[in-house]
Structure 1
């Protein structure tokens, strides 16, 4: 027999209720026992503290054991438990169940766990089985303080048999209550299942308008009808989810391909997204879900983000990341929520370190170039003024001054030519003329052209070739670079020194040209306009 919707709901509800009640019944027993024991433990600790106040002063004064035992017997009449007073060394001083000779022969209690715990923590308890009474006993002990020291321990013990009997009574009452609850829920489930068919039909009527083409479903009851109606909605929802996933994949691909770092945070500052470029540049490990201050520990980033969230407007600032050793142009843009309230912000980190370096190089270049041009101009002006002041009347002096003017003019022409060549190289107007070049032949030509200058300076110029291979290069530019190096070597190598031009194979399969000399040398050989001499001209 196939149950209808009403029957299945009723059976399911009754079965679920029965299972839940059985679980409650199974779990409640241990919990009842634990709570009952905790209540007894709290009561015994309170009684132990009361006894500690009663015997604290006599015990500290060293009163006789019989006298303290009498106090304990008197005070314990209203306490339905066994009271024991233990000295600091573990000796049993008083016991509500013992007196006289039996009391004096009781074994030392210092090793009892509740006594040790009370001496260390101020209070302690334990449960142990007593072979004397045949029951489990709960022991509760507290330290007896006097002034700044502990003079003993007050212990109260109670059999757990009465507690177990109370728990059994309580469990029977709980079982009866759960049985009544089960019957009530069964009746309510039957009533609920009967009232569900009407509203369910209304739901199906409303769903038909949004799903006119139901999918094939085997069930023929109300749930089957609803399933056929909702299948179409599920298909439409799946199509939407697929479209969203596809859009998300495209966005992830775009963010991964970006060289700029991108980080999105919510209105609390928690990181929602960080692309691979940002993780690489700032060396981040799992930034998503953390506060942005844990990820980007920079005050200016926090100020920019707070301003974006507060104003809801775009903000831009440059931030130096000391940890990464880079400078970034950080752009903050809010993404709005309902009523144009910002839900968060997107920060873009564009690395401007290289741009700053190039700008600094350009500034240094302009300053150095201006200096190099001003120096010969100053010299030319000085010689012209000397000629105007009468040096022309002395032919030898005049010719010498004119020669100096010509030398400085040639130097200026060389500088201007170099500047124009550099400008053409940077603008791309002068493309390299790539061709096979033998570095040994270029080095030989340069050595031959500068041999006379080296001889006049008294410097020995040597060539060495270690079978350097032919490479693809710009022969003119290579010759120009090598001439500059050798000219500097000839200029700054002292008389009697040695210059050696060596061509040899490079480790990467190319060729190396090495110019070695006995000159002073200098650091920063790759810097523009740097000079070996400290002289300004």
Structure 2
């Protein structure tokens, strides 16, 4: 049913129907006009012929009817015989009856084959009565009992101004209407033949128009499915041919545009996938539509599509609304993934609303930046400034206090003044050590302390370190041992800086090792490309909670004791930076009240021969 309806709605059927209807309408108009004109002409001719014959008969019979009826004619015949011959011989109309009547309406002659049945009878029809009254126009159409249409004409017979009788004609119009019907049938047959030819021509015409349109439709469907390799044939220079050319040109341009669009899309996808920042796109309702790989890594989510931005970032609705509307530009939020504070990531979320013309905000682009390291560096900077301020403030306060005491009269007491001056000297030396370490760290951070590598004998270097601290170890009755693995003789390194590292490690080991303890300085090769130097003590150890921060600047496990021993809290930080500059690593392993082992691993540099 639907297929039939669609068929009748096609352009081809519409063109055929319109074409046929136009021809049918035109032929109907022509046929109605032609048949109507022809029928009027035939009827008029028929009536005119009857009127002419009636007039002629009236003129011929006037004198006879004016004389006495019983008076014989010139040839000796009676009036009835003369009039009868006149009616039968001179006038002939197929299937017509002609009557001559006297002034009283009595029939004197008739054209019928049996005149005796009518002669002498009166004709009482209305037309005859009007004619006997002198009225000339007396015509009427009748249909007799045999359903035959007839025309009646009654004419007065005038002799001068006197009505002496009447002529009465009744003629059948059967032949006239048969002629009209025949012409109608011929016209209908011709019209049907013309409509058939018109339908055939309409089909051919519609075919020539709709075939190119069907080709365009198929090509448009192919283009919609992404097939751009086909072309619509151009069959002429008419409008459809021009449309085919334009369509082919449009297909070519569309192919190029889509190719360019795909290329740009691939570029954008590649850029999004390889960005160091996370990108999240959401619609106007805040529902996530697109996320790149970095965003999923930062958010630690397998899939983010379909989530709400507020839930994804853990923000309240007010803050999210402010960011999405542009009232706030960015926010720094923490993101933890089940691993405690160690896995906490700080992200800066920058939301940019997408505006569409006449539609307001149609979406939001969120850019995620990992600012964990920046926040940590900022926190370290704040802690560093606070620690430096504290470390400098303490000796300066002490110096100021003792200087004021000296100024207030302590100089007058030699013993007390000498002690105060000694304290001021110690605090000043402590400040100098602190500033020196800070300058050293600054040079290491800015790579302004270039390495001056030289071939260095490892056994000699370790023995010399032990010798430099032998006096301090004897004071605390600490036993020292130096062991170097066989085959290790000399390596290329910056002897002065490595000596500073080893001095710091041995100094710390002595500080935190109780009297009678033991310190071991060893060197071995963990693999063929590096050398490991370890300083192991049996001291008080380091709590596990402090191990992760032991290399931070100014960090002390026992702050009071370390400061009293003259430490600045920068030794291990300097040691780590020196080892890092050599391309190595430093590790620390410690158990509380059992001892500490610090291991420096340095790569074997082949410049100058490496290990020899």
The corresponding residue for 2:105 is none
The corresponding residue for 2:500 is 480
2:358 aligned counterpart, secondary structure: helix
Counterparts of 1:508 and 1:257, CA distance in 2: 37
The answer to whether 1:502 aligns with 2:522 is yes
Match of 2:288 among 255, 261, 271: 271
The corresponding residue for 1:237 is 254
Counterparts of 2:9 and 2:493, CA distance in 1: 86
The corresponding residue for 2:312 is 296
Residues 295, 256 of structure 1: CA spacing in aligned structure 2 closer, same or farther, 3 A cutoff?
Answer: farther
Counterparts of 2:449 and 2:291, CA distance in 1: 43
Instruction: State the Cα distance separating 1:371 from its structure 2 match.
Output: 2.5
The corresponding residue for 1:489 is 509
Match of 1:419 among 400, 413, 438: 438
Residues 343, 516 of structure 1: CA spacing in aligned structure 2 closer, same or farther, 3 A cutoff?
Answer: same
1:528 aligned counterpart, secondary structure: coil
2:363 aligned counterpart, secondary structure: strand
Residues 320, 374 of structure 1: CA spacing in aligned structure 2 closer, same or farther, 3 A cutoff?
Answer: same
The answer to whether 1:353 aligns with 2:355 is no
Map 1:107-186 to 2 at 5 A: none
Residue deviations 1:70-95, cap 9 Å, x none? xxxxxxxxxxxxxxxxxxxxxxxxxx
1:496 aligned counterpart, secondary structure: coil
What TM-score do the two structures reach when normalised by structure 1?
0.55
Contact 1:459 1:497 in 2 (8 A): yes
Counterparts of 2:283 and 2:435, CA distance in 1: 57
Residue deviations 1:499-531, cap 9 Å, x none? 111222235832222222122222332122123
Report the RMSD for the aligned CA atoms in angstroms: 3.9
**Bigger CA drift: 239-248 or 458-467?**
458-467
Residues 287, 296 of structure 1: CA spacing in aligned structure 2 closer, same or farther, 3 A cutoff?
Answer: same
The corresponding residue for 2:423 is 404
Instruction: State the Cα distance separating 1:281 from its structure 2 match.
Output: 1.7
2:368 aligned counterpart, secondary structure: strand
Match of 2:348 among 321, 324, 329: 329
Counterparts of 1:435 and 1:421, CA distance in 2: 21
Contact 2:287 2:309 in 1 (8 A): no
Residues 385, 337 of structure 1: CA spacing in aligned structure 2 closer, same or farther, 3 A cutoff?
Answer: closer
2:554 aligned counterpart, secondary structure: coil
The corresponding residue for 1:25 is none
Instruction: State the Cα distance separating 1:470 from its structure 2 match.
Output: 5.6
Gaps of 5+ in 1: 1-8, 14-189, 206-213
Residues 521, 366 of structure 1: CA spacing in aligned structure 2 closer, same or farther, 3 A cutoff?
Answer: farther
Counterparts of 1:433 and 1:225, CA distance in 2: 82
1:299 aligned counterpart, secondary structure: coil
Map 1:23-42 to 2 at 5 A: none
Instruction: State the Cα distance separating 1:534 from its structure 2 match.
Output: 4.0
Instruction: State the Cα distance separating 1:280 from its structure 2 match.
Output: 1.6
Counterparts of 1:398 and 1:10, CA distance in 2: 121
Counterparts of 1:200 and 1:317, CA distance in 2: 63
Residues 193, 226 of structure 1: CA spacing in aligned structure 2 closer, same or farther, 3 A cutoff?
Answer: farther
The corresponding residue for 1:26 is none
What TM-score do the two structures reach when normalised by structure 2?
0.49
Counterparts of 1:257 and 1:469, CA distance in 2: 48
1:339 aligned counterpart, secondary structure: coil
2:539 aligned counterpart, secondary structure: coil
Instruction: State the Cα distance separating 1:202 from its structure 2 match.
Output: 9.3
Instruction: State the Cα distance separating 1:337 from its structure 2 match.
Output: 1.5
Residues 219, 371 of structure 1: CA spacing in aligned structure 2 closer, same or farther, 3 A cutoff?
Answer: closer
Counterparts of 1:431 and 1:295, CA distance in 2: 50
The corresponding residue for 1:317 is 331
Contact 1:264 1:344 in 2 (8 A): yes
